[in-house]
């Protein structure tokens, strides 16, 4: 079930509702809300599938997507009932999901869940994680999947997987290394230690740290600043920066000038009235 979206109204979707995700669209801004406050927004497979459904529900004029949690916790990570024999009602346990699968089947299943995180790298949108309280495991990886992060001063982060005998597998390792470097990322993941908001800001995990009472306004100010620019260059600059690491300086310089051609031509046409 889906319905047309009007400004400021939630997008209705069975997939979103089943996974505890709320999507709200107001003009050029979409807000994705983890809506399981009673479970501290803990993640389940249906939540990952719901996150993967988001991009297809975004209207074409959306330019900025904000991701936040309902209530005082961004995301407590995996719903730990999945690690019990009983599992999560209606979803089962990791045992019941994984036992029937061969090795390739397990990898393929994780690949499906990863789609709920990978779409945030799409250059059509600039994505912002607005983080209050704990962001644990998959929740930390979700926040890292966003292009930018605004964190409240009560935010705290933990890559918990290693302590559970697992590795982070929801696409969080690459952006973590990009932000803090290999050695620090290894230390964070291998120790499963907590990172407070001050350290997150210092390490570059969060681009802005504000008092919790100012989180909403600070996020809104960043959204406004992003929307104040011309749409096309915002898409192009994200494309340029995403690819910069795999290019040397000469390749990146070529990409810059080739990208600039259509933008300069558009500027010239506007000036001349063409």
Question: 68 pairs with which residues across the strands?
Answer: 33, 130
Over the range 158-177, which residues count as b (16 or more CB within 10 Å of their CB) and which as e? bbbbeeeeeebebbbbebbb
Secondary structure, 3-state, 91-108: CECHHHHHCCCCHHHHHH
- Taking only the tens place, the pLDDT of each residue in 221-263 is 999 999 998 788 888 999 999 999 999 999 999 999 999 999 9
Asked if residues 46 and 81 have their Cβ atoms less than 8 Å apart, the reply is: no
- Taking only the tens place, the pLDDT of each residue in 174-231 is 999 999 999 999 999 999 999 999 999 999 999 999 999 999 999 999 999 999 987 8
On the question of pLDDT at 40 being above 50, the answer is yes
On the question of pLDDT at 2 being above 70, the answer is no
CA distance 9 to 268: 39
pLDDT of residue 230: 74
Please tell me the least confidently modeled range out of 3-12, 139-148, 226-235, 264-273: 3-12
Helical axes 231-244 vs 249-272, angle rounded to 10°: 170
Q: What are the contacts of 34-37 at 24+ separation with CB within 8 A?
A: 34/67, 34/68, 34/69, 34/70, 34/74, 34/75, 34/139, 35/70, 36/70, 37/69, 37/70, 37/71, 37/73
- Taking only the tens place, the pLDDT of each residue in 110-160 is 999 999 999 999 999 999 999 999 999 999 999 999 999 999 999 999 999
Q: What is the residue-averaged pLDDT of the chain?
A: 94
CA–CA–CA angle 222, 59, 25 (5° rounding): 50
DSSP, res 204: T
What is the residue-wise DSSP string for 142-163? HHHHSSEEEEETT-EEE--GGG
Query: Residue 248: in which H helix or E strand, if any?
Result: none
- Taking only the tens place, the pLDDT of each residue in 158-179 is 999 999 999 999 999 999 999 9
On the question of pLDDT at 1 being above 60, the answer is no
> In the chain, what are the domains?
9-227 (3.90.226.10), 231-272 (1.10.12)
pLDDT bucket at 8, cuts 50 / 70 / 90: low
Q: How far is CA 148 from CA 64, 75, 129, 130, in A?
A: 11, 17, 6, 9
pLDDT of residue 9: 79
Please tell me the least confidently modeled range out of 1-10, 44-53, 215-224: 1-10
Q: Considering the chain, what percentage of its residues have pLDDT values greater than 70?
A: 97
pLDDT of residue 273: 85
CA distance 270 to 33: 39
């Amino acid at each position: 079930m889906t319905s047309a979206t009007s400004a400021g109204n939630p997008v209705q979707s069975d997939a979103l509702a089943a996974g505890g995700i709320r999507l709200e669209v107001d003009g050029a801004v979409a807000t994705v809300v983890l809506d399981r406050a009673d479970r501290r927004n803990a993640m389940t497979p249906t939540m990952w599938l719901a996150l993967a459904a988001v991009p297809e529900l975004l209207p074409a004029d959306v330019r900025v997507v904000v991701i936040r949690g309902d209530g005082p916790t961004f995301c407590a990570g995996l719903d730990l009932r999945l690690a019990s024999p009983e599992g999560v009602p209606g979803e089962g346990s990791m045992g019941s999901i994984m036992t029937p699968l061969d090795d390739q089947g397990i990898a393929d299943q994780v690949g499906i869940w990863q789609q709920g995180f990978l779409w945030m790298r799409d250059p059509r949108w600039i994505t912002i994680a607005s983080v209050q309280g704990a962001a644990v495991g998959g929740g930390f990886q979700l926040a890292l999947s966003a292009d930018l992060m605004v964190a409240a001063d009560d935010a705290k982060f933990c890559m918990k997987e290693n302590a559970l005998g697992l590795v982070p597998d929801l696409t969080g390792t690459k952006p973590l290394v990009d932000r803090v470097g290999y050695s620090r990322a290894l230390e964070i993941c291998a120790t499963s230690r907590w990172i407070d908001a001050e350290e997150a800001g210092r390490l570059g995990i969060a681009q802005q740290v504000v008092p919790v009472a100012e989180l909403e306004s600070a996020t809104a100010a960043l959204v406004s600043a992003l929307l104040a620019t011309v749409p096309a260059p915002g898409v192009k600059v994200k494309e340029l920066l995403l690819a910069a690491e795999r290019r040397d300086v000469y390749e990146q310089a070529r990409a810059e000038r080739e990208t600039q051609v259509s933008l300069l031509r558009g500027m010239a046409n506007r000036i001349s009235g063409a």
